Amino acid sequence: MAFFLAQFLTGLANAAALFLVASGLSLIFGVTRIVNFAHGSFYMLGAFIGIYLMEILPGAVGFWGAILLTGIAVGLIGAIVEMVVLRPIYRAPELFQLVATFGVILVIQDLALMIWGAEDRLGPRAPGLRGVWRIFGEPVPKYDIILIAITPFILFALWYLITKTRLGVLVRAATQDREMVGALGVNQAWLFTGVFALGSALAGWGGALQLPKGGADLLMDFNIIGAVFVVVVIGGMGSLPGAFIASVLISVLNVFGVTYLPQSTLVLMFVVMAVVLIIRPYGLLGREEVAGEHGQVGAPETPIRPYGPVGQALVAALLLGLALLPLFVDQFMLILTIDMVIFALFAASLHFILGSGGLVSFGHAAFFGGGAYAAALLVFHTDTPMELAFLFAPLAAGLLALGIGWFCIRLTGVYFAMLTLAFSQLVWSLAFQWRAVTRGDDGLVNIWPSDWLSGTETYYYFALILGVGGILFLRHVIHSPFGYALRAGRDSARQAEATGIDVKRVQFAAFALAGAMAGLAGGIFVFAKGSVFPTELEIAKSFDALIVVFLGGVKTLAGGVVGAGFMTVVEDWLTRLEYWRLLLGLVIIAVVIVMPEGIVGTLRTLWRRIRHTDEETV
């Protein structure tokens, strides 16, 4: 019994920092509707700034004072980020801001490396709180008890702020209907800045409070962000008590998982999230999102049409150029172009469900990597001929998408996104942990194409034909009756149902098709690289695709492809430089601010303005 109690206390202590960070994210999302990927970065800043301040300020007063000041400092940084980066783009399409926050992550990572250096820092101990107290004979670290005691106060303080103060009333009003709050004369801009600063400060406090149990290092931003999103989603996006319950739930389950199922550490929380979302689609205490509640911000959208003669001629010229490329350039340029084509097809498949279907998937890498793994496993274990194994890639990915889609498609918005993320993590952990079959992160190597395809030039044409073929096929589907049905479901599910379209079934089919196309890209990928590793299934891979789709422009035809090409080229240039993450982050932020409709979308708007044509004639 005493052992269980001790374990429970460990879980509660772990929940403290997690709750602080998660409550900040939940608050920011609730009010501004921004999915803030950079939240982990504020947590990391909190840890580094906390150590710095604790070194200056001596004694117990200095320690706790440093923690307090850290939150304020990180809050200020958050306010600056909000004003400089996010304020210009609130009117951009929904979720577009997450691209900007991704740029912020990159910038903060490199700045932290510049300022604090690469070495891990051990956090200072809390003065007078080293060692343990014994509870029923079980040792419990003193600082754990302090953390357990502090957390309810923080929850209470936040609860008081939200329910009892005028600021809280405004925040709650903005969470429910921000247009109305604006109409009633509240300065939304400052409200958003304030909430963002408070959310960042909470993350900073989380980073500083965990110091006596850990420290500061440059990987902690990515290491916590997954857990934080899981907590916020399980609790219900925007719900503070939900975040509290979820962080306790996850932390305590984790402790018991470590003891009774030690191998489960990679996936346990994602399994919990998947189960919760399947049973309660809006998290434990979340509110159902009414369709269109937050409205389509920005100008009303004109339906996408097939390209006119000019557009078609441009595409044809581009294709001709690609076909003749081997005559002009060296081998490496071909390899870079193969990478670009693979990425473009992957991005186009995501763009298909995201742009035309309105389904934001955070787990699309499951299908890319799934296809790659399907082909590689066949070659590796059964020596299947490459041609046959290759066909299996889109097939297996499509089947996987059918399976995952069956669970996910009933959800909408961010919850749909998070459930796809949970499933992609399950696929990842399968590849990572099932070493007998997948060789874990040693990966599957020596997966090379058949002899007739092994030349770089031959493989280039192979990749080009299949990649471009896949992209053109997706484009045709968008303009087919099926594509129109999909777009109808996106724009107005109710009206689409009324005209006889089974919206969920159409979305389900589109999701599977997108999965199969991502799998095709994965198939081309694995034979181009000769190996596949679980990295191809990681969250980061899904986000790569997501970011280029937004950068290229969601509400366009070519957004995914153009975004992928842009990103591949920019990355290839910048990674040669020492501080490439800083530069890449700044480039992304700049593109986002200058081109809030994405690259293609903004160019299209410019083109129309130059031609002085109205939208009907394009």
Interactions with another protein, residue window 220-249 (CB under 8 A): 220, 223, 227
Does position 535 interact with another protein (CB under 8 A)? The reply is yes
Count of alpha carbons within 13 angstroms of residue 223, beta-carbon side: 9
Among 381, 435, 476, 494, binds another protein (CB under 8 A): 435
Beta carbons within 10 angstroms of residue 144's beta carbon: 23
d(CA 608, CA 616): 11
CA dihedral defined by 333, 568, 605, 297, rounded to 10 degrees?
160
- Identify which of residues 8 and 407 has a Cβ nearer to another protein in the complex: 8
d(CA 529, CA 143): 49
In angstroms, give the least distance from the CB of 96 to another protein.
Answer: 24
Does position 530 interact with another protein (CB under 8 A)? The reply is yes
In angstroms, give the least distance from the CB of 518 to another protein.
Answer: 15
Does position 450 interact with another protein (CB under 8 A)? The reply is no
- What is the C-alpha R_g of the chain? 25
In angstroms, give the least distance from the CB of 320 to another protein.
Answer: 25
Does position 356 interact with another protein (CB under 8 A)? The reply is no
Among 2, 5, 132, 183, binds another protein (CB under 8 A): 132
Angle at which helix 2-32 crosses helix 39-56, to 10 degrees, equals 110
Among 307, 448, 482, 484, binds another protein (CB under 8 A): 448
Among 60, 84, 114, 388, binds another protein (CB under 8 A): 114
Scanning 110-118, 280-288, 309-317, 378-386 for contacts with another protein by CB under 8 A, the matching segment is: 110-118
- Helix intervals (H) in 329-443: 331-351, 365-382, 386-408, 413-433, 435-438
Does position 119 interact with another protein (CB under 8 A)? The reply is yes
State which of positions 304-343 bind another protein (CB under 8 A): 330-332, 335-336, 339
Beta bridge mates, 215 = 122
- Is residue 424 within 8 Å of 362, Cβ to Cβ? yes
- Identify which of residues 446 and 499 has a Cβ nearer to another protein in the complex: 446
Does position 150 interact with another protein (CB under 8 A)? The reply is no
Among 55, 120, 288, 457, binds another protein (CB under 8 A): 120
Does position 121 interact with another protein (CB under 8 A)? The reply is yes
In angstroms, give the least distance from the CB of 318 to another protein.
Answer: 22
- Identify which of residues 255 and 417 has a Cβ nearer to another protein in the complex: 255
**Binding-residue total with another protein (CB under 8 A):** 73
State which of positions 483-512 bind another protein (CB under 8 A): none
Does position 8 interact with another protein (CB under 8 A)? The reply is no
Angle at which helix 559-574 crosses helix 539-552, to 10 degrees, equals 110
State which of positions 564-603 bind another protein (CB under 8 A): 575-581
In angstroms, give the least distance from the CB of 55 to another protein.
Answer: 12
Binding mask 187-226 for another protein (x = CB under 8 A): --------------------------xxx-xxxx--x---
Amino acid (one-letter) located at 201:
A
Q: What angle do CA 454, 390, 407 make, to 5 degrees?
A: 145
Counted residue by residue, the chain has a size of: 618
Q: What angle do CA 542, 544, 548 make, to 5 degrees?
A: 120
Amino acid (one-letter) located at 490:
R
Scanning 409-417, 531-539, 554-562, 599-607 for contacts with another protein by CB under 8 A, the matching segment is: 531-539
Does position 438 interact with another protein (CB under 8 A)? The reply is no
> Which tokens hold the place of 17?
């920092």
Return all residues near 59 (Cβ < 8 A) that are at least 6 apart.
Answer: 127
d(CA 211, CA 207): 7
Q: Please report which helix (H) or strand (E) contains residue 444, including its range.
A: strand 444-445
Return all residues near 166 (Cβ < 8 A) that are at least 6 apart.
Answer: none
Does position 23 interact with another protein (CB under 8 A)? The reply is no
CA dihedral defined by 340, 345, 348, 349, rounded to 10 degrees?
-150
State which of positions 242-301 bind another protein (CB under 8 A): 254-255, 258-259, 262-263, 265-266
- Identify which of residues 475 and 529 has a Cβ nearer to another protein in the complex: 529
> Which pairing describes strands 215-216 and 444-445: parallel, antiparallel, or unpaired?
unpaired
The closest of 350, 358, 306 to 557, measured between CA atoms, is: 306
Does position 141 interact with another protein (CB under 8 A)? The reply is yes
In angstroms, give the least distance from the CB of 575 to another protein.
Answer: 5
